[in-house]
Structure 1
């Protein structure tokens, strides 16, 4: 048996002993089960992780116990998962109490029988009472065996807790498993989208501003050479200086475009509606924008997610749709925001065809919203997104 396996067995035995000690508390908690069930269930999940089982915590790290229990009280998971775990925990703790008490105490008495005999005590374990020194020494290996059996039974009880935990989670709480699977998928999609965005920024800097700055350096070198030459051509110096200035201005504009694609200043200073209006004005397409409502109540994460949804949709239309016009409908209320981007292009767009729209969908989901695409071949494309004004986290 490896050292890690021994550590896990020791942890299982220790947690079962703690559960045995906590048995009276569990009995009392049955009287207030609506509040106690989530706490005991989450504690049991933590126990499973500490013992090496594959369990996932449900309480967010930034939520207090009072907030989280309040949410669980309004969820069906309280009856499907948490209450069965509480009842099972109480029953198995009663079993652990009996096994640990009689098993370990009996094992200790048998192992130390020779010591008790020297003190004039004939220690009795069940029907066994030693009548001689020889019998006390024969009781020592029996005590070791009893201790090993007790350890094995407690370990098995711990594994039984894991089994019930998985059974209740899988069979009784399918919505919870769906949420966990969605979180795993979203995490993978967001990682891919962030990597795609990082590569885009790197490519824009390399192919844009960096190339322009290299050209500026070369122009300045030529300007220096022309200015220090014996036969200085004033017109050539002026021309090189103007070309270097124009190159530097282009590099500055490329940098501004890259920074704007990371987070537009208009969005922070003027709000979502003004930023989308500026985005439509810069687009190479003819964009018909309709905006209603007040965007002052939108959180920064929500406004950013909606802005980049519009930006990516217009970029895709310009690149792939072969459309003559794009229409953007933006509606902001005090509680949520809705946006729809349509075109009259070739259609056939798919959200899983590239990392752009897939990443935007995960960005919308991260603020509690959603993104859908309707794009029949030959029938144009419609990108619809909505989100609450304040993220749910």
Structure 2
């Protein structure tokens, strides 16, 4: 995986010199040094005008402009852009924009950063470049300096006196050896410099990232708890209520056949038939909560079962080698397919549908297509909005293409890895049933 920050790149010291990160760090520091002198000049001029109260608004605007430029420059050292902390004015016009900016803390942080950048930071950028690149470059150039001096003597880096070409070439070899070594601290200092800029110019980013991570983890835990509860309810109904209802149906059947003809036998027959209908409805309810075929045999078998239950004929093309996937992934994909088939039967007017499922390169792809009238809108209570939210917890996506006249195509993509055999729920289910 490609590193996204210099700190990630430095964590792999063996590969670091062969990546672009050292030169990205050099570009970041060099661009800061180039911008620093003009920023200092503008700062001095505006501070001079501020005596007449003319430079204060311009100094204020200069801080906002420099803050925006620095946030863009951070992309040299971080692939994740720094968000703009400023709000949007509630009214058009310069006056509303200025009123909002004056009240925002981000504006004053940008002004403080501009003062720090113009007076301290860019000289530090220049110093780091001078040591990290200038020193090795001066040593590498020792033979050229000696030749320019007529081959007699040359002072390298204003300190090292070279009087012969062997000494000059030794200095050049030392410079070549120092260059890759100094790139490590240079990149680390550039990363620290960028972290300071990000902390001042996008201070809420770290907090927002932490909150997003917490929300994502919380959603995943809720989804896992919801799935576990579904399984518990299915297991309790299957092993408890259903078994007792089966026993009751059998008892009523035996009593019906043992009773002599008459009103009692008729009532027992009615009760027996009603118990059979309740048992059928309970089995359908259990299947809707969580089908046992999904737990025991996996997604391919469950999709084939859903296709068989569909009122509209369905051509199924699940991958014969579809592996066992994490339970939450299989459940989400199954219910997405079942909801799509239910919508086809209720709304599409289709004569036929097609269902495919494949897993490759760590991605499950499921497609449901029909030859109906099209024009499907997920926002009109089709049930797919909730499924999209459920897929989002798994970093999955749900998309629908449904032009008027059809065809309607629903696509589900969920990144997931293959589940190990040791974690298969079939074994756990069998042991639980035993």
Length-normalised TM-score, structure 2: 0.41
Length-normalised TM-score, structure 1: 0.44
